[in-house]
A and B are shown apart, each in its own frame.
Chain A
């Protein structure tokens, strides 16, 4: 796309730079840990013993979970976008719900159900790399679903219909006309699924699929080898970088947008009752497998367990953190997306760097944040005492700022994907038109972009909201005293082999995530008929 140089400079890159610095800081700290530690020969020992197994497991789990997520996510998104059948409106948001189930909770539930003594003992036990891949795919596919759904909704149906007119069968038209246009969104969703999978510890450890992350935690916990754990983390980050690069390549090939931002509400095809039932069954199965069945098992266990915790305040804490992080992350995501749009190298690099934090396993990111805060505290203490003669308060126990910092550094990537894929629909032609009519860059953003990218921003905020609700390692290690979240309580019980007590907080996570999911799904649905020209008249400043 040719963008005139004057347009290029139109958007400031500095917000993205700030985002990049915030996100890269823990990563830099981890890298510093990796190079500064002494070389104990542990890596050589690993290479000759367990590292190949770690890598193999990592590959297997990732391929299964990513493959499953793409098939489920994009297929079902197409189904609810293009066809009309009984219950479609409900499935629209129901399909996003398994994302609210922490993968480790689903893993505990499924393993408990299908082990030899369990009620589903006749089925093969959900375990090993295959089991872990399936569980992760079933709880993470909503990333792909949400982004693809949004892309299909925002897609003008012209291309698909043209293909049909030219005699293509529905499947062919889907694969050759609709899919390529949604490809950036699907790739962004897949990248998120893969990163989550790479960073997962709870599910793979429980199901006995030792991946790189398990090896990393083992090095850290079992050997006390922080430096070696950091080195393994860098391997993970390298893999993530590779995935990012592939995703970019995908996107570059598919920069095709319809010439206007206008959306023609696509008429859905009404399915016959029989086919409608089949479609409903298709939609229902991942929700059952990813959420209802495993959480149902935990609930059954909960019936025989006492409630020993104050879950109300834990829920409050979780929501507070998730809302703040969600809003801030959406802003960072937009900033990064605009930086990408400038087409400058600096902007692109900043946005890429900002997205990298996601691949760092939470425990490692948390270590990085800890190290940074420790260093900062020392400096500030010295300066403060020198200047004012008083003692500066302790940052870590004083509040939740450290947590928010850690969340943003980890989840900025989850926000950048949706924001960028939404912004990519705003064609440069639109910008050009607006600027020709004398609008400033800021005005163009507000009156032309904003109506088109609201959903992307909302989606970004929602994804981060749900992520933070589920987040464990950073929350665990950075939170103040007497401050629990639902995820922390659920995990503490589960790791203690008290599934019953873990059930209720895990269920509450899903319950808390439900209202925003429904609300956002509705916005996306409603927006299908919205026309880009329907810009609100300018409000006074």
Chain B
């Protein structure tokens, strides 16, 4: 028995090296090749975009989904032998960090294509670009709050909201980028004062995700919450009656950030520094900005397209007022991320 166990183990150990994933099967001659995609997103919309891309070009898309920090760490370790062609993450702060680690390469061939993306939603030298955008907003209880009370994020730190605000932990990158944007707008000292004010206003210790903050407002635990817009859009478009009730109890405002415009952020992509399939990767990156790709993101994940003039079918987004975005280049959010996190530590925003 013992012997058999050891034999089984030895066989298992030997077969490890032979266990390659199916995607590594020998490709046929008529094959247009493949791309290897590192992505921090996992949406049906993305899968639909990959499928459409393969249909159109014949290029297979191999996917590895993981949190952005882990993808970055893995690419670092893989170094020159990294198999990644394209990296996709949400939040510009992560893209900035990956770029700092030298994981992207410029793609001059895409220069014209990228002109379709607003200048503030892409890297100044074209190392990465946003293909969909989202905005940090305030959701409030219809029956207890008037939309006119919150026109700017600076208002949220005011005394009148003491014990009435819900927001998730500062571990979350959305909050880090919001504060990073504020540091850019008003400087670190004032940003710290603001963060301290918000921390003092928190109704309950940060817990759960953005959706949970919205539910807490509906349940009366707090009157306002800071969230990303698509979490509410998701609740508004769901089949679940309980969640619909939550969405109906609240409303949304798009406050500006220190008067500069609403704090936008992106889902972005870049060309990996050591991409083994560079040409295919460029084709894929361009595909993200086609009408087809842009529509998918708007309709399935409730994000805003970055390319102007794309038509899509989404009642919730269509009902939003005209939003003026903060003109800051999202690259700045990454530069200020560390300062933002230390401010959170100091003011005790958990």
Interface residues of A (CB under 8 A from B): 45-46, 49-50, 53, 111-112, 115-118, 121, 127-128, 205-208, 210, 214, 217-218, 220-224, 226, 301, 304, 306, 308, 320, 323-324, 327-328, 330-331, 363, 366-367, 370-371, 373-374, 377-378, 381, 394, 396-401, 404, 445-446, 450, 454, 457, 473, 476-484, 488-489, 492-493, 495-497, 500
B74 at the binding interface (Cβ < 8 Å)? yes
A116-B221, A222-B341, A401-B17 known; 11 new pairs, CB 8 Å cut-off, are A45-B342, A115-B208, A221-B67, A327-B5, A327-B9, A330-B5, A396-B77, A399-B21, A482-B22, A493-B42, A497-B209
B341 lies within 8 A of A327 (CB) = no
A399 lies within 8 A of B16 (CB) = yes
Question: Which residues of chain A are near B16, meaning CB under 8 Å?
Answer: 324, 399-401, 404
Against A, the Cβ 8 Å flags (1 = close, 0 = not) of B334-347 are 00011001100110
Question: Which residues of chain A are near B8, meaning CB under 8 Å?
Answer: 327
In the complex, residue of chain B having the shortest beta-carbon distance to the beta carbon of A225: B338
B6 at the binding interface (Cβ < 8 Å)? yes
B2 lies within 8 A of A400 (CB) = no
Question: Which residues of chain B are near A111, meaning CB under 8 Å?
Answer: 207-208, 212
Known: A210-B350, A399-B18, A399-B20. Contact between A115 and B212, CB under 8 A? yes
A328 lies within 8 A of B350 (CB) = no
A240 to chain B, nearest CB (A): 23
B228 to chain A, nearest CB (A): 10
B260 at the binding interface (Cβ < 8 Å)? no
Question: Which residues of chain A are near B71, meaning CB under 8 Å?
Answer: 477
B303 at the binding interface (Cβ < 8 Å)? no
Interface residues of B (CB under 8 A from A): 1-3, 5-6, 8-9, 12-13, 16-24, 36, 42, 44, 47, 62-67, 69-71, 73-74, 76-79, 81, 83, 97, 100, 169, 171, 173, 176, 205-212, 215-216, 218-221, 231, 238-240, 243, 246, 337-338, 341-342, 345-346, 348, 350
Question: Which residues of chain A are near B246, meaning CB under 8 Å?
Answer: 117
Once bound together, how far apart are the Cα atoms of A49 and B344, in whole Å?
10
Question: Which residues of chain A are near B206, meaning CB under 8 Å?
Answer: 208
A116 lies within 8 A of B219 (CB) = yes
Question: Which residues of chain A are near B221, meaning CB under 8 Å?
Answer: 115-116
Known: A117-B219, A308-B47. Contact between A127 and B207, CB under 8 A? yes
Once bound together, how far apart are the Cα atoms of A536 and B97, in whole Å?
63
In the complex, residue of chain B having the shortest beta-carbon distance to the beta carbon of A220: B69
Question: Which residues of chain A are near B219, meaning CB under 8 Å?
Answer: 115-117, 121
Known: A115-B219, A222-B176, A394-B83. Contact between A492 and B65, CB under 8 A? yes
The 5 A-B pairs of least Cβ separation, nearest first, read: A208-B207, A117-B219, A116-B219, A481-B62, A374-B77
Known: A324-B12, A480-B21. Contact between A488 and B78, CB under 8 A? no
Question: Which residues of chain A are near B216, meaning CB under 8 Å?
Answer: 115-117
B12 lies within 8 A of A327 (CB) = yes
Question: Which residues of chain B are near A363, meaning CB under 8 Å?
Answer: 70
12 CB-based A-B contacts, threshold 8 Å: A45-B342, A111-B212, A117-B219, A221-B69, A221-B173, A222-B173, A320-B19, A324-B16, A328-B13, A397-B36, A397-B83, A497-B210
Question: Which residues of chain A are near B83, meaning CB under 8 Å?
Answer: 394, 396-397, 481
Question: Which residues of chain B are near A327, meaning CB under 8 Å?
Answer: 5, 8-9, 12
Question: Which residues of chain B are near A308, meaning CB under 8 Å?
Answer: 44, 47
Question: Which residues of chain B are near A320, meaning CB under 8 Å?
Answer: 19
A223 lies within 8 A of B338 (CB) = yes
A484 lies within 8 A of B21 (CB) = no
Once bound together, how far apart are the Cα atoms of A24 and B171, in whole Å?
30
A481 lies within 8 A of B205 (CB) = no
In the complex, which of the residues B5, B64, B176, B209 contacts A481, with contact meaning CB atoms closer than 8 Å?
B64
A210 lies within 8 A of B169 (CB) = yes
B300 to chain A, nearest CB (A): 10
In the complex, which of the residues A45, A396, A400 contacts B78, with contact meaning CB atoms closer than 8 Å?
A396
Known: A111-B212, A327-B5. Contact between A394 and B64, CB under 8 A? no
Question: Which residues of chain A are near B346, meaning CB under 8 Å?
Answer: 49
Question: Which residues of chain A are near B69, meaning CB under 8 Å?
Answer: 220-221
In the complex, which of the residues A116, A482, A495 contacts B63, with contact meaning CB atoms closer than 8 Å?
A482
